[in-house]
Amino acid sequence: MTLEILYFAWLRERIGAPRESVETSAATVADLVAELVARDDRHAAALSDMRAIRVAVDQELSGLDSPLAGAREVAFFPPMTGG
């Protein structure tokens, strides 16, 4: 499947792009992270500490074990600082 991956705030800066399309067969968010980390040093560095990163699957907050079946968009970002 093709997933649209989005990055925000310092993750966007470390990856060097706000979004990218990836062809993947990852079953869960954790699988996808492992695939991205294996791609290159930038991804590996940006996604090195997943405790400091939040994930949304199709714009819903999700966890590392969330399934990706049928998903179209996965976003990675730091803890939110709204208000």
- Nearest approach in angstroms of CB 4 to another protein is 11
Q: Tell me whether residue 4 or residue 35 sits nearer to another protein (CB atom).
A: 4
Residue located via tokens 């062809």: 23
> Closest Cα partner for 55 from 39, 36, 38, 83?
36
- Nearest approach in angstroms of CB 69 to another protein is 20
Q: What is the 3-state secondary structure (H, E, C) of 4-72?
A: EEEECHHHHHHHCCCEEEEECCCCEHHHHHHHHHHHCHHHHHHCCCHHHCEEEECCEEECCCCECCCCC
- Nearest approach in angstroms of CB 64 to another protein is 18
Q: Tell me whether residue 22 or residue 56 sits nearer to another protein (CB atom).
A: 56
Q: Tell me whether residue 25 or residue 32 sits nearer to another protein (CB atom).
A: 32
Which residues form the interface with another protein (CB under 8 A)?
6, 8-10, 56, 59, 61, 75, 77-83
